[in-house]
């Protein structure tokens, strides 16, 4: 079976593996490891993730040098992974030694790391722009057209898996918050002999007056068994 014939099956296995991870952090760490395994010319891989504040960082990387390449981009505010996130869906840098885009980024990367070529793929879904998956090599012109096609597919599956994992994490946090608030409401009802509506109003007023989130007020009440003064 040729690589072209086996890749769809391999990608299906990758997608199932990513979906099986319990957290977004685990999903991203598995994704970069799989990227190096699946794409033969990739020596390292990293994920650049957009935060809620629209800043970008690298929560998963297969090596310190890959992380260093990204950190130089964040420091300078420009580079291929940032361009992939905000401007183009695929950004290729065949030879960093002759790269003139992004100002001093390429010369610094050549000077400070062993990386000589890289390619970045935007990670996105129909609704979410997630970040970028980047592949790195110590050799110039390392990546082929087949690697580009593989990277696009892997970035798409990774984006879906990360968005799904983050949604599940947010749901779990919301459920935990509701549980805490429910327990705290019960404590206030019992202590002051009031109904649930009034007890919840007490917690909400404390939250507003102390500028503390409602679930944190509830957690503190459960821990101390007393309301903040």
Q: Highest mean pLDDT: which of 53-62, 67-76, 161-170?
A: 67-76
* Whole-angstrom distance, CA of residue 123 vs CA of residue 187: 45
Q: What is the pLDDT of residues 101-133, one digit of tens each?
A: 999 999 999 999 999 999 999 999 888 899 999
Detail the DSSP E strand segments found in 108-228: 117-124, 129-137
Distances (CA, A) of 112 to 70, 115, 135, 136: 12, 9, 17, 14
What dihedral angle (degrees, nearest 10) is formed by the CA atoms of 87, 90, 94, 97?
30
DSSP 181-203: HHHHHHHHHHHHT--HHHHHHHH
pLDDT band at 176 (very low <50, low <70, confident <90, very high): low
Contact indicator for 119, 35 with CB cutoff of 8 Å: no
Does the pLDDT at position 94 exceed 70?
yes
Decide: pTM greater than 0.85.
no
Structure tokens given for 10: 């391999």
Give the Cβ contact number of residue 198 at 10 Å: 13
What pLDDT is stored for residue 99 in this prediction?
Answer: 96
């Amino acid at each position: 079976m040729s690589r072209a014939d086996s890749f769809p099956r391999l990608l299906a296995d990758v997608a199932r593996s990513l979906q099986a991870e319990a957290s977004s952090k685990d999903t991203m760490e598995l994704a970069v490891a799989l990227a190096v395994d699946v794409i033969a010319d990739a020596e390292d891989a990293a994920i650049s993730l957009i935060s809620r504040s629209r800043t970008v960082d690298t929560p998963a990387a297969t090596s310190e040098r890959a992380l260093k390449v990204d950190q130089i981009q964040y420091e300078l505010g420009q580079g291929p992974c940032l361009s992939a996130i905000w401007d183009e869906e695929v950004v290729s840098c065949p030879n960093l030694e002759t790269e003139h885009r992004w100002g001093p980024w390429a010369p610094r990367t050549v000077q400070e790391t062993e990386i000589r070529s890289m390619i970045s793929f935007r990670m996105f879904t129909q609704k979410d722009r997630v970040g970028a998956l980047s592949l790195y090599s110590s050799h110039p012109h390392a990546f082929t057209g087949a690697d580009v096609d593989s990277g696009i597919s892997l970035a798409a599956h990774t984006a879906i898996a990360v968005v799904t994992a983050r949604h599940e994490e947010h749901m779990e946090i919301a459920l935990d918050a509701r549980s805490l608030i429910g327990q705290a409401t019960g404590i206030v009802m019992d202590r002051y002999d009031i109904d649930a509506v009034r007890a919840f109003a007490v917690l909400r007023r404390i939250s507003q007056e102390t500028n503390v989130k409602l679930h944190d007020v509830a957690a503190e009440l459960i821990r101390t068994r007393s309301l903040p003064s």
